[in-house]
Amino acid sequence: MKWLMNFLRGMVTLTVTGPFPERLVNLCAQEQVDFWAVTWLDGNTLRFVTRRRTLSLLRRLAERVDCQVTVEKSRGLPDFLLRFRSRYAFLAGLALSLCAVAVLSRFVLTIEVTGNDRVPTAVILTQLRQLGVRPGVYGPSIDRQQVAQEAMLELEDLSWMGINLHGTRLEVIVRERVPRPKRLDEKEYYDVVAEADGIITHVEAELGDAVVQEGDTVLAGEVLISGTVTMEPPEYSDLPARYYQTHARGRVWARTWRELTAVIPTQTVVKEYTGGERSRWSLCVLGRRITLWDGGGDWEAWDQVTRSRRAVLPGGAALPLSLEREVRRAYIPRTVEVNLEAAQTMLENQLAARLEQLVGEDGTVESSACSARVEGGLLRVTLMAECREEIGKEVPGTVVLPEEPPQQEETDTP
């Protein structure tokens, strides 16, 4: 630490020659002049190191004892800066650089969002940009608490937001709202109906009356579990059956047959590149684009590919400074015949994925077969599959409760 302070203040190595050099050493001790690394070269010469600012005082003290002081070398920050005392452009650039560092360190250069899982980072950054928070804004001018409250009003999936400013880095910490559990409405009247045609293989009625059993054949829309519950009267009783409506729930599995179809044209339009290519270079600074060079390129049809190189700090943080190159390639549209085999394979894969989505995670595909034919300029692929799946779905019921038969009054007969 002492060496660093001496380097900043400047150090000089002196050679003292005279009849009695030790007298100069005694005077330095009396005047409290710091010096070190004293070395005797001979009986009348010694060398030591002192601070640069005490050089003029040492020369006056040397005259009092008839000694000569010679500077062997000088080092430190003052000597380094004095080398540029005649280079005004360098000094001006250095001053501007220091001012730029002092001023630019107050502006936001990067924004980091943490704590989000369901809400995309781009959505949060877009909302902050609408509130005036973006790279290039003056950091101390941001009312962080007000911005966080206004952003939360627009982003309903967030329950909390905190904004911290660390120099040129703005840290946005969010907490997502816990999804509200789905509430089952027990007051409404619902039936469980079939989503597809099939043969019932298993019925699990949690609430309501099951109106089908294993082996029954059902059509799409047919009631499987009724929300109208029948309460039978006690045995050997003349009381009528009573009914009440409820929210039917349960699971019904069935053996089903699915038929899915997909089509694709047998001809398509491809791009035939002509070889024409133009480039445009742009510099993006704090979200603003500055065009450096534009090669033009007026064609009827072209593709545009943008490649961007962004400045990154050694720690990995990205800066709002990037160099972009837009390449335009001219082409002529041309109609060609599609590869029927490849097209059929693509459609079969799409139909298989759609079938898996229809049967769900609990369902299974027992067997499947695909057929293809070309008609009217279209390739038509049909998938026939036998599945075992859950076909029940809840729908609002429309059945009216049966009317209870009127009770007959007993009369005495004479």
Q: Strands 267-285, 288-294: parallel, antiparallel or unpaired by DSSP?
A: antiparallel
Question: What are the distances in angstroms from CA 403 to CA 56, 169, 225, 234, 318?
Answer: 121, 73, 21, 19, 74
Q: Which helix (H) or strand (E) holds 207?
A: strand 198-207
Q: Which two tokens stand for residue 151?
A: 């952003």
Assign 401 to helix, strand or coil. coil
For residues 26 and 32, the answer to whether their CB atoms sit within 8 Å is no
DSSP per-residue codes, 230-279: EEPPPTT--PPPEEEE-B-EEEEEEEEEEEEEEEEESEEEEEEEEEEEEE
For residue 213, the one-letter residue type is Q
**What CATH number belongs to 2-82?**
3.30.70.260
CA distances, 205 to each of 29, 146, 182, 402 (Å): 105, 53, 21, 22
Token pair 């190159």 is at which residue? 325
Find, among 202, 230, 227, the residue nearest to 216 by Cα: 202
Specify whether the CB–CB gap between 382 and 371 falls below 8 A: yes
Task: Report how far apart, in Å, the C-alpha atoms of 20 and of each of 29, 44, 48, 69 are.
Answer: 15, 6, 15, 13
- Return the number of other C-beta atoms located less than 10 Å from residue 34's C-beta: 10
Q: What three-state secondary structure class fits 260?
A: strand
Residue 21 is predicted with a pLDDT of: 86
Unique residue bearing structure tokens 């190189």? 309
Torsion on CA atoms 30, 33, 34, 36, rounded to nearest 10? -70
* Contact indicator for 254, 200 with CB cutoff of 8 Å: yes
- Nearest CA to 127 out of 106, 149, 159 is that of 149
Average pLDDT of each block of 10 consecutive residues along the chain (414 residues)?
Answer: 78 88 87 86 87 86 87 82 73 78 81 91 92 88 92 91 90 89 70 91 89 91 87 76 82 93 92 87 85 78 86 76 88 90 93 92 91 92 94 78 50 46
pLDDT given for residue 380 in this prediction: 94
Query: C-alpha angle with apex 19: 16 to 25, nearest 5 degrees?
Result: 50
Phi, psi (rounded to 5 degrees) for 150: -70, -35
DSSP 382-397: EEEEEEEEE-EEEEE-
Residue 276 has, within 13 A of its CA and on its CB side, a CA count of 16
Domain limits, the chain = 2-82, 88-181, 190-253, 262-266+338-388, 269-335
Radius of gyration, alpha carbons of the chain: 44
Enumerate the β-bridge partners of residue 224.
none
Report the CATH fold assignment for 88-181.
Answer: Ubiquitin-like (UB roll) (3.10.20)
